Amino acid sequence: MVFKMARGPADPEVKAKVLEYLGKVQKAKSRDVAVAIGASKSDVDNAVKELTAEDLVEYLYITTTFICLKGKVQTPD
Amino acid sequence: MAILDQGPPHYKKMLPPIVQENYGKWKYHEIPSPGVLKHVGESGAALYSVRVGTPRLVSIDFIRDVCVIADEYCDGFLRWTTRNNVEFLVSDEAKLKPLLEKLEAEGYSVGGTGRSVSNIVHTQGWVHCHTPATDASGVVKAVMDDLYEYFNTMKLPAKLKMGLACCLNMCGAAHCSDIAIVGVHRTPPRINHEVIRKGTEIPSLVASCPTGAIRPDPKNKSVIVNEDKCMYCGNCYTMSPAMEIYDPKNDGIAILIGGKTSNARTSPSFSRMVIPFLPNTAPRWPETTEAIRKIIELWIANANDGERVGEWVERIGWERFFTLAELPFSDMLIDDYIFSRETFRTSAQFKY
Amino acid sequence: MTEKNTPLLDELEKGKWPSFVTEIKRAAVKSEAAGELLQVLERSYKERRGHWKHGGIVGVRGYGGGVIGRYVDEPQTYPNVAEFHTVRLLQPSGWFYNTKTLRTVCDIWEKYGSGLTNMHGSTGDIILLGCKTEHIQPIFDEFSDAGFDLGGSGSCLRTPNCCVGPGRCEHACYDTLEACYNITNEFMDELHRPMWPYKSKIKFSGCANDCTSSIARSDCSVIGTWRDTLRIDQEAVKEYAAKINIKAAVCDKCPTSCLTFNAETQELSVVGEDCTRCMHCINVMPKAIQPGKEKGATILIGGKSTIVQSAFMSWVIVPFMKMEAEDDFAEFKDLMRRIWEWWDEHGKSRERIGETIYRLGMTKFLNGIEVAPVPQMVFRPRANPYVFWNQDDLDRSGTALDGSKL
């Protein structure tokens, strides 16, 4: 088991896969994304960090925190 | 462009010179008068902290007011405590008396040290929370008004820490307080099927119920609540606004006592329920203030020197407490949830 | 138009304790939103129910939390609080402030918000109560320029906090202020970018008096302690003996009866190996009794409040750990990474780590984070024999001791 969290720039390939996967679902937990695209959770977290800074992905709090493509899910009323 | 991840402001910039000079080298402290702490360093330096109660919900005008005072008497340094009090940090002893006079003149409440009741740690209530079963600030105000004589004196048997949680989420350690005031619901959620159909994730909603009282209703594309199993925790309402749990006629307050988080003498302990329900009599909750005063007066009359509420009750026994307090004991006070067994008396030793 | 009178709330301006109603009214002089909050609240007092709705998505670019969405349930009636969001700011360690810093907070908040605050929230942040969605990014940008950062919200590391520690307390067994500052900065990703099953909290208390109540309300409680024996200054004991009854106030209340006061020699002695470091004697006689020299902290895991499976108090994972700024709190940070990684892998959605450990078993947790079991972790060992034996450690070749096949 590797315990170190990801640091440094994210893998562009993982970023592309995250975007592709989020295109297919409404929203997801980053762990589910990691399982679905076959990447490590820490690599996904690092990719998401960059994607949110680039305004392509956003966090979504609906009783727990999810991620989704920016603007894809509207505020629940 | 804003800087991301720069973290909190550095505490070292916030420390008065006397703290920087004596950092980690404090020797002892005393409480010269209620609300005043005197910390003495190994160097002999003395720092006076003057503690002032606040309602926690404060305006920026309040913050600016205390800044003016801190500039005049504390070289511009002050702090807040874990229990939402302000502490003016006085390094020049000559300024202590003038500061106390100023605070008195301006109507600030100095106290909350040693064997006193400190500020009640509390939540948002009707002011800003979306799941409250009672208000927070209003109940605290009413109770603190009533107990004021124990805030600005130190005549209690031991320190008294109180907490208020406006629902069972219990933001703020109310569950381990000498006296806890807890907002409770008493009726099952009302289901708004339309809201559920509009976008509630039914599996998550079903899973959120700790007693398994919620089951899917595929025909209706909604859920059904088994009302016999519901214990009104409101967790489903946190999951979905379709599960409205507030009920003005039946929501109210429960009183739990005897908890603590300090390890001094006895281990930290949870507060235990002694009054299952008191009504939400806004704006001043007379039933609640009276019930709390009675418990405190009983504790004052019966506790040994230095005994916190829970230590006193554990020494005399809870069965004896109910007799002395003349509080009705009912099935509502016997635990029937997950960790109930440890509360059952597995012994032939007890009092009346 | 809504009714502007607030007869019920006005009742809460009476009495000696400072009034939150007065505070809202003060803010209402400058802020229409604060004025409208007063009306919503008066209505809550009349109807005995809240009028705030679940939060939605609000945030700043690059972060997944720090702002909590709040909406009134009748936006047409109360347009100024239709959006009334909460901003959390990371507080300085120990809630020490200089007035310049506080005035900066006030000035920015006056410009964009209701002028109402909580000093502080239950978790420790500076809470700014009530602003519009469109102002969130400008508020963050301006606070960021002034040297502030957002706190945690959602399924992340929530804002850590600490007691006053070595800043003003003789009991502090480690530097809580530096630990809180250093460790908060270390875990900025975990705090600002929610990636876990649910929230996770850390609180730093300098001694077992636990002034932050860490054991009751944080997933990780870091409680200062010492490994050797407490230190007694016999001269100072004699001074106390003239003022207090040491036997009654100190020795008789010691939970392990490890202290003895000799009335003849006026000396206090301790049986070091019996002491459980509860702090009682030190609290009563701070001039005469001090913690030992080998200081550090006990690390406890799992504390949380009542929702959902009852309240948990944190339990001991590491009885004694050095907490030194010199080595950058490396051992603690390494342990936390292992703990979070295990929870992140095994926890269900909305499950606090204490609940995950309880569901799967302490043994699995300890194996998962590679921490060896020690008796300090439990009050007493199990009373049943239902051990999950590791089958790989047993000889399951199917042959009995006498050589016959099973």
Interface of B with A in 229-248 (CB under 8 A): 238-239, 241
Q: What is the pLDDT of residue B200?
A: 87
pLDDT digits (tens, 9 = 90+) for C29-41: 999 999 999 999 9
Q: What is the pLDDT of residue B199?
A: 80
For chain A, what is the domain count? 1
B61-67 mean pLDDT:
98
Which of B67, B129, B175 is the closest to C103 by Cβ?
A: B67
Coil/strand/helix, residue C249 = helix
C7-145: which CATH architecture?
2-Layer Sandwich (3.30)
pLDDT digits (tens, 9 = 90+) for C281-326: 999 999 999 999 999 999 999 999 988 888 999 999 999 999 999 9
Q: What is the pLDDT of residue C131?
A: 97
- The region of weakest confidence among A54-68, B186-200, C126-140 is A54-68
Question: Do C161-227+295-373 and C231-293 show the same overall fold?
Answer: no
Q: By percentage, how much of chain A surpasses pLDDT 70?
A: 87
Helix (H) or strand (E) holding B311: helix B309-316
Supply the pTM of this predicted model: 0.96
pLDDT greater than 80 at residue B316: yes
- The pLDDT-based confidence of C3 (bands split at 50, 70, 90) is low
DSSP labels, B84-150: S-EEEEE--GGGHHHHHHHHHHHT--B---SSSB-PPB---GGGT-SS-SS-SHHHHHHHHHHTHHH
Contact state of C194 with A3 under an 8 Å Cβ cutoff: no
User: In this structure, what token pair is assigned to residue C104?
Assistant: 């900066």
Residues 6+ apart with CB under 8 A from C172: B24, C163, C165, C166, C206, C207, C224
> Residue C253 is which amino acid?
K
- The pLDDT-based confidence of A2 (bands split at 50, 70, 90) is very low
Domain boundaries, chain B: 14-106, 117-186+249-333, 192-244
On whether the CB atoms of residues C19 and C13 are closer than 8 A, the answer is yes
Contact state of B239 with A76 under an 8 Å Cβ cutoff: no
Q: By percentage, how much of chain A surpasses pLDDT 90?
A: 69
B202-219 mean pLDDT:
93
Identify the CA nearest to A68 among candidates A31, A37, A23, A34: A23
pLDDT greater than 50 at residue A5: no
The whole-angstrom separation of Cα C354 and Cα C311 is 10
Pairing of strands C161-162, B222-225: unpaired
pLDDT greater than 50 at residue B144: yes
Q: What is the pLDDT of residue B242?
A: 93
Class at the top of the CATH hierarchy for domain B117-186+249-333: alpha beta
- Mean pLDDT of all residues belonging to chain C: 95
The whole-angstrom separation of Cα A50 and Cα C124 is 28
A38-70: b (≥16 Cβ within 10 Å) or e? ebebbbbbbbbbbbbeeebbbbbbbbbbbbbbe
Interface of B with C in 251-290 (CB under 8 A): 251, 259, 261-266, 268, 270, 280, 282-284
The DSSP output letter for C13 is G
Domain C161-227+295-373 has CATH 3.30.413.10: yes
pLDDT greater than 50 at residue B140: yes
Class at the top of the CATH hierarchy for domain B192-244: alpha beta
From chain C, the residues in CB contact with A55 under 8 A are 61
User: In this structure, what token pair is assigned to residue C312?
Assistant: 């948990």
The whole-angstrom separation of Cα C156 and Cα C352 is 11
Residues of C with CB under 8 A from a CB of A: 54-57, 59, 61-65, 69, 153-156, 189-190, 193-198, 334, 337-338, 341, 344-345, 349-350
pLDDT greater than 70 at residue C57: no
pLDDT greater than 70 at residue B158: yes
Q: Does B69 touch chain C if contact means CB atoms closer than 8 Å?
A: no
Coil/strand/helix, residue C310 = coil
Q: What is the pLDDT of residue A77?
A: 46
Identify the CA nearest to B248 among candidates C43, C49, C73: C49
The DSSP output letter for C248 is I
- The pLDDT-based confidence of A4 (bands split at 50, 70, 90) is very low
**Phi and psi torsions of C321, nearest 5°:** -135, 135
B294-318 mean pLDDT:
98
Q: Could you report the predicted ipTM of this complex, rounded to two decimals?
A: 0.97
The whole-angstrom separation of Cα B139 and Cα B41 is 40
Residue B267: how many other CB atoms lie within 10 Å: 14
pLDDT greater than 60 at residue A1: no
Q: What is the pLDDT of residue B258?
A: 98
User: In this structure, what token pair is assigned to residue C387?
Assistant: 């051990």
Helix (H) or strand (E) holding C117: strand C116-119
On whether the CB atoms of residues C168 and B39 are closer than 8 A, the answer is yes
C121-141 mean pLDDT:
96
C185-212 mean pLDDT:
96
Question: Do B14-106 and B192-244 show the same overall fold?
Answer: yes
Q: What is the pLDDT of residue B130?
A: 87
Strand partners, A28: A67
Q: What is the CATH number of the domain that holds A17?
A: 1.10.10.10
In a domain, A1, yes or no: no
Interface of B with C in 312-351 (CB under 8 A): 337-339
In a domain, A2, yes or no: no
Of B223 and B130, more confident: B223
Q: What is the pLDDT of residue B173?
A: 72
From chain B, the residues in CB contact with A63 under 8 A are 204, 208, 238-239
Residue with tokens 């051990």: C387
Contact state of C194 with A29 under an 8 Å Cβ cutoff: no
Residue of B nearest to A63 (CA): B239
Enclosing domain of residue A43:
12-69
E-only strand ranges, chain B: 26-33, 36-41, 46-52, 57-59, 77-80, 86-90, 162-165, 179-184, 190-191, 214-217, 222-225, 243-244, 252-257, 272-279
The whole-angstrom separation of Cα C130 and Cα C117 is 9
pLDDT digits (tens, 9 = 90+) for C159-194: 999 999 999 999 999 999 999 999 999 999 999 999
pLDDT digits (tens, 9 = 90+) for C223-270: 999 999 999 999 999 999 999 999 999 999 999 999 999 999 999 999
DSSP labels, B168-184: TT-TTSGGGSSEEEEEE
User: In this structure, what token pair is assigned to residue B204?
Assistant: 């998550």
Residues of chain A by 3-state class (helix, strand, coil), percent to 5:
45, 15, 40
Residues 6+ apart with CB under 8 A from C190: A5, C156, C157, C196, C200, C340
C39-66 mean pLDDT:
90
C111-116 mean pLDDT:
98
pLDDT greater than 70 at residue A7: no
Domain C231-293 has CATH 3.40.50.920: no
- The pLDDT-based confidence of A3 (bands split at 50, 70, 90) is very low
Domain boundaries, chain C: 7-145, 161-227+295-373, 231-293
On whether the CB atoms of residues C312 and C215 are closer than 8 A, the answer is no
**Topology (CATH) of B14-106:** Alpha-Beta Plaits (3.30.70)
The DSSP output letter for B265 is S
